[in-house]
A and B are shown apart, each in its own frame.
Chain A
């Protein structure tokens, strides 16, 4: 969910890993400011729907992954229908309001790998309904107003790659970040895993 910086990296890796079906959803249009960190978009894609551009690029990568694309706001009710057709979700969204709405649509045993990124740091965790804390517990009452968030392309690629690893961990049944928050700080090359309660 969300095919911006993190979404581009996660989806590309999953396609190259040979995932059979990938569903992508976003309501964004490719803008010039995206080109510095959103790896599926080029100058020729400006003003086009991100989901359409991403689908075209991802389909041509290996020819082995079926891509479904949906152009809508993740907070809409359509999300609920769509996520019931998938095993798991990568939260590549860019705001907490949408993230909290998304996790409320999870069904039992469906995993959601959450990633957030900013400047040169970010964090990842796995959410499973009735098995882990919810994002809205971990980030209780958090509000980030409509501010532009500075994001380094390096952190997008690093966090996106690690998110893809956790998606694979979940797919094979060995998630590493259940009730754990993995914090990546590129400023001092440190990885920290916090136990959540």
Chain B
């Protein structure tokens, strides 16, 4: 299983804290997110992505590391991994 956790605006929008998904084989982050959206039957990718790229405000951590430092949406995930998604609070 992989765990996908929603935080901040995404949690408010989805009304749930996250989802767990079993992968038969390693899959790209972008594909995992699309799979999640299908399972949840509620669109949320529009708030994270723009034309297949991460929006400037989207932070996705894979096991605590920003996926932009790895291979962005093409980063491979496998069972046991944890994905945390949030736009951070920007105000002060």
Which of A41-49, A58-66, A188-196 lines the interface with chain B? A188-196
Which of B29-37, B43-51, B81-89 lines the interface with chain A? B81-89
Contacts of A195 in B (CB 8 A): 64
A151 interface contact, C-beta 8 A: yes
A7/B92 in contact, CB under 8 A = yes
A142/B91 in contact, CB under 8 A = no
Residue on A with the closest CB to B92? A94
Partner of B61, one of A95, A187, A196: A196
In Å, the complex CA distance between A195 and B68 comes to 17
Interface of B (DSSP majority class): mixed
In Å, the complex CA distance between A96 and B84 comes to 20
Partner of B7, one of A117, A139, A183: A183
A95/B8 in contact, CB under 8 A = no
Give the shortest distance, in Å, between B80 (CB) and chain A (any CB).
15
In Å, the complex CA distance between A92 and B90 comes to 10
A192/B7 in contact, CB under 8 A = yes
How many residues of A are in contact with the other chain, CB < 8 A?
41
A183/B90 in contact, CB under 8 A = no
B91/A116 in contact, CB under 8 A = yes
Interface string of B48-81 (1 = CB under 8 A from A): 0000000011010101111011000000000000
In Å, the complex CA distance between A124 and B9 comes to 16
A185 interface contact, C-beta 8 A: yes
Chain A residues with CB under 8 Å of chain B are 2, 4-7, 91-96, 115-119, 121-123, 137-144, 149, 151, 155, 159, 183, 185, 187-188, 190, 192, 194-197
22 contacts between A and B (CB under 8 A): A4-B91, A4-B92, A5-B91, A94-B92, A116-B90, A118-B8, A118-B9, A118-B89, A119-B9, A121-B7, A122-B89, A123-B88, A137-B69, A140-B66, A141-B56, A149-B90, A151-B91, A187-B11, A188-B11, A195-B64, A196-B61, A197-B63
